[in-house]
Amino acid sequence: MSESTFDRRTALKSLVGFGVAGILLYVFGRVLGWNSILSALSKADLLPVALACGSSLVALTAWAKGWDVVLSSLSVEIPYRDLVPTYYAATFADYVTPFGKAGGGPFVAAVLSADHEVGYEESLASVVTTDSLNLLPFFTFAGAGVVVLGVTGSVPTNVRPLVYGLGAIAVCVPLIAYLVWRARGWATRLIARVLDPIASRVGFVNAEGIEERVARFFSLIGELGERRSWVLETIAFAYVGWVFFALPLWLAGRAMGVSLPLQLVAFIVPASSMASLVPTPGGLGGVEAAVTGLLVALAGVPTPTAAAIALLYRVASFWFVLPLGGGATLWLTYRN
């Protein structure tokens, strides 16, 4: 299979995903009432929306700085100004493909290794490590939101499974990651066993030395773990990024004249992120429905206003970022 064929297939999957997302968004508005939603949107204050867009950029820039710290710990010295567009391109890859997180890491690792002559394993290890540390605030905010909502007794019965389920995920996922790391020898053999049949059928996966490359990847993760001086700095940037990633929801509420409690925002942002598992680019349709439903159920926001807040939040956190990431991707492709 040629690289161009693979690119065409990826583009086709993205187009199909956006088509499905368009249908979901249409149904979303159809069920809730487009006239009511548009009427609510017409009253929005645009200044908080603009601030929300700026907040999304700050979040991405902070996460890119965390990645810079991880790379430096691997003795990979790349100017930070060059990493920012690469991180934007990775975000674009996440956003335009269904289940984008599965492809964003390998994509940006490939770009980094091609553009700066960094080993692919080193690049991928830095991306995976950065993404893993960026998830710490996700679990922290989700867990804190669950605790506050539980203590205040403001969780309606119909959404308790979601709220407490997210709390369970916040505990279980780090535990699973730790167990995989402890059993990394077994995990290496399992990954190689899964990839070997795939490598024998496609032309863009090198079947030779898969187990060695996976083992090298785990070894690099281990080397990073031994150099702990960088961890706190990276985590600090991760938390800064998550604060500015969540802020657009609060600002979207302000744009609609709704003051959302911060503990509610801290819960809804990671909870709605789980809806990005919907097989559409960036979770389109699923995230909007999740944010709307949670605002109605947990904050008592009227449905048209909640839907308007959800759409404004996605304008700032998704649609505004999309062309910037696409431009970064085109620039990196042209430069390479």
Q: What pLDDT is attached to residue 4? A: 40
pLDDT in tens, 266-308: 888 888 877 666 667 777 788 888 899 889 988 889 999 999 9
Q: Which two tokens stand for residue 112?
A: 């980094």
pLDDT at residue 82 is higher than 80? yes
Q: Could you tell me if 49 and 319 are in contact, meaning their C-beta atoms sit under 8 angstroms apart?
A: no
Q: What pLDDT is attached to residue 189? A: 65
CB-side exposure of 241: number of CA atoms within 13 Å?
24
pLDDT at residue 179 is higher than 70? yes
| Environment class of 4 (CB within 10 Å of its CB; exposed 0-12, middle 13-18, buried 19+) | exposed
Q: Could you tell me if 281 and 100 are in contact, meaning their C-beta atoms sit under 8 angstroms apart?
A: yes
What percentage of residues in the chain have a pLDDT greater than 90?
Answer: 21
Count the domains in the chain. Answer: 1
CA-closest candidate to residue 37, choices 25, 23, 24: 25
Q: What is the per-residue burial (b if ≥16 Cβ within 10 Å, else e) of 194-214? A: ebeeebeeeeeeeeeebeebb
Q: Could you tell me if 205 and 198 are in contact, meaning their C-beta atoms sit under 8 angstroms apart?
A: yes
Please tell me the distance from the alpha carbon of residue 120 to that of residue 93, in angstroms, as a whole number.
18
CA-closest candidate to residue 96, choices 308, 318, 298, 312: 318
Q: What pLDDT is attached to residue 253? A: 96
pLDDT at residue 257 is higher than 80? yes
Please tell me the distance from the alpha carbon of residue 325 to that of residue 317, in angstroms, as a whole number.
12
Q: What pLDDT is attached to residue 182? A: 67
pLDDT at residue 220 is higher than 70? no
Please tell me the distance from the alpha carbon of residue 248 to that of residue 314, in angstroms, as a whole number.
9
Please provide the average confidence, as pLDDT, over all residues in the chain.
76
* Mean pLDDT, residues 220-234: 66
Higher pLDDT among residues 47 and 335, named by residue: 47
The pTM is what? 0.77
Higher pLDDT among residues 290 and 194, named by residue: 290
Domain around 79: 3-335
pLDDT at residue 34 is higher than 90? no
Q: What share of the chain is helix, strand, coil (3-state, %, to 5)?
A: 85, 0, 15
pLDDT in tens, 125-176: 777 778 777 777 877 777 777 777 767 666 666 666 766 666 676 667 667 7
pLDDT band at 46 (very low <50, low <70, confident <90, very high): very high
* Mean pLDDT, residues 52-67: 94
Q: What pLDDT is attached to residue 304? A: 93
pLDDT in tens, 83-95: 888 888 888 877 8
Please tell me the distance from the alpha carbon of residue 310 to that of residue 296, in angstroms, as a whole number.
11
Please tell me the distance from the alpha carbon of residue 199 to that of residue 217, in angstroms, as a whole number.
18
Would you tell me the crossing angle of helices 231-255 and 262-274 to the nearest 10 degrees? Answer: 100
Please tell me the distance from the alpha carbon of residue 88 to that of residue 33, in angstroms, as a whole number.
34
